[in-house]
Amino acid sequence: MDGLQADNAGVGGIEDNDEERYRALAYDTALSTLVAVAVYVVVKVSLDGFRQWRARISVLIVGSGPVGLTAALVAVRSGKVLKLTVLDERYRAALLCRPQQIALDPRSVKFLLGLGVDFDNMEGCWHSEHFFTRIGVFQEYLLSILEQKKLKVDVKVQLGTKFTEEYLRRIQRTQWPRVIVVADGSCGDSCSVLGISSDYSVESCHAYGANATIERLDQRQVPTPEIRAHRLYFDLSAYGVEALREPRNPTAKPGFHLKIYGTFRNRYMALVCPASDTKMVRFLRHTANASIMKNIFHQSFNVYKTDVEPRLNDVTLHHMQCSRRLFEIQLSHRRISAAFIEGDNVAVTVEGEAARVLNFDTGCGVNLGMRGLESMGTFIYRTATAVDQNDILEALSAKMQHSRQVAETFKQTGLPQSMYE
């Protein structure tokens, strides 16, 4: 009996030792697996971080207007561009001698300051946190910044070069850009060259407006702050319309809103009113007498012009061109503002007036183009660091969503901010 108990005790001891060995082996295996997984995660994260840090792409920008050159600056500042090419079919003289004045609102000014634009070194003037300058001055300044960036990025500005199918055929497949930014304006045909649909959505801004322009060669081409006048009622009793007798709607912004802007040589005027069915609006929308609108702009300019500039008179009036009548203000924007050319692995985004355009000039049109560029840096980063095609498609989808939001926001608040306030 005693021997049997001793044998059982020996067997139990062996089983306990085996169980301890199994536990130690399982612990060692789990620990080894955990360490291997941790090492894999650390290595993968490090490699992904290194790959993203090293990622650089080639970018082609078509159009060197204010939006195109700003897009070029965004691309350079993204830190993910190895080679940047800017194309424009216009030569430098034609590009920089444009007479239009642009007004940059506070949001655009803040965006450009973040890109390193120094407004103190640019010809122009400030007024109510807006910066006013000539379009050629703005473009020349951005070109000078891009010239300075050539030490860090391979920047090529090819003026007098049109973006065509022949131009694309001359590019070797190994040198195709990863991103193409189309910013060639509302009349450009670069999108059709790339096979992007030309379908637009046209939406009403629920307002009526008219524009006028005056060119006076005896005046200086100096930027000037805009002049605004609100709640105007015009005396058209000579034409059978007496607006002052009409009941006024207290919930709507009453009357017309006038803006005078541009340089002393090239003066522009914008007249706008919220959509309504008053007798005055109906008359100005449907009148066949083209001289009525010219008379309105003539009288408005002489009343609200700056003190130092000459009045319009019957002799100089023929220098003014204006809308024949009030028209409905509409915003047109592309249904497809971003696309992926699968065979060539190229992401395309459309910006500025090539993406959305207003049929009414408020003097702040360039700001609408700037809005689309606010997501450009993120788009270039995501495209450069994409692992596969799905990452690129997600970046394009986010870019399209932002483009739609820009149009929707302008429809709701664009005219009130640029004209009513």
From 173-177, 240-244, 294-298, 356-360, the region with the lowest mean pLDDT:
240-244
pLDDT at residue number 179: 95
Yes or no: say if 258 and 270 are a contact pair by the CB < 8 Å rule: yes
Compute the Cα dihedral for 17, 21, 24, 30 and give only its sign.
negative
Please give the pLDDT value at position 28: 73
Instruction: State residue 51's pLDDT score.
Output: 43
Token reading at 316 = 């100089």
Query: In this predicted model, what pLDDT tens digit does every residue of 95-112 receive, in sequence order?
Result: 888 878 999 999 999 999
- φ/ψ (deg, to 5) at 31: -65, -40
Question: Is 395 buried (19+), middle (13-18) or exposed (0-12) by CB count in 10 A?
Answer: buried
Contact yes or no for 212/269 (Cβ under 8 A) = yes
Confidence of residue 50 (pLDDT cuts 50, 70, 90): very low
Assigned architecture for domain 57-199+335-420: 3-Layer(bba) Sandwich (3.50)
318 or 160, greater pLDDT = 160
pLDDT greater than 90 at residue 262: yes
pLDDT of residue 38: 66
Instruction: Give tens-digit pLDDT for 8-47.
Output: 555 556 666 767 777 777 777 777 777 777 666 555 555 4
Hey, CA dihedral for 379, 383, 389, 391, is it positive or negative? negative
Task: Please tell me the distance from the alpha carbon of residue 221 to that of residue 249, in angstroms, as a whole number.
Answer: 41
pLDDT at 294 over 80: yes
The whole-number pLDDT of residue 249 equals 57
> φ, ψ for residue 343 (rounded to 5)?
-60, -35
CA angle 301, 302, 305 (to 5 degrees): 65
Lowest-pLDDT choice from 50-54, 128-132, 379-383, 397-401:
50-54
Which pLDDT tens digit goes with each residue over 205-243? Answer: 999 999 999 998 888 899 999 999 999 988 888 888 876
Place of tokens 């006028």: 212
* Domains of the chain, residue spans: 1-54, 57-199+335-420, 205-329
- Average per-residue pLDDT for the chain: 87
